[in-house]
Amino acid sequence: MFVDIYYVSNDMTSKCVLAGLRVAQELGGMTVTVQPPELYSMEKVILSYKGRNLCIVEPECVSSLEHEHNLRRAIEEIKNG
């Protein structure tokens, strides 16, 4: 399985991005991309698998452990279709 994880963030070293990198390394078969937000865009995470996108929008106050949990759950949801 190959999943793309796209972060829209101004901070490449944010706790959410680093948590996503940990999950990608542990599970394998994933790429992680960080892009700055466009004008009027908010920070978010987009998982993409075979053209199916799942957007996770999390405020900055979410802990990195909670983000990892949400990310793993979303990846399982994509895997199980």
Q: Look up the pTM and report it.
A: 0.80
Distance in angstroms (rounded) separating the CA atoms of residues 10 and 58: 14
Q: For residue range 26-80, what is the model confidence (pLDDT) as tens digits?
A: 998 899 999 888 866 778 888 888 877 887 877 666 888 999 998 899 888 887 8
Q: Could you give the CA distance from residue 81 to residue 65 in angstroms, rounded to a whole number?
A: 24
Q: 46 phi and psi, to 5 degrees? A: -125, 125
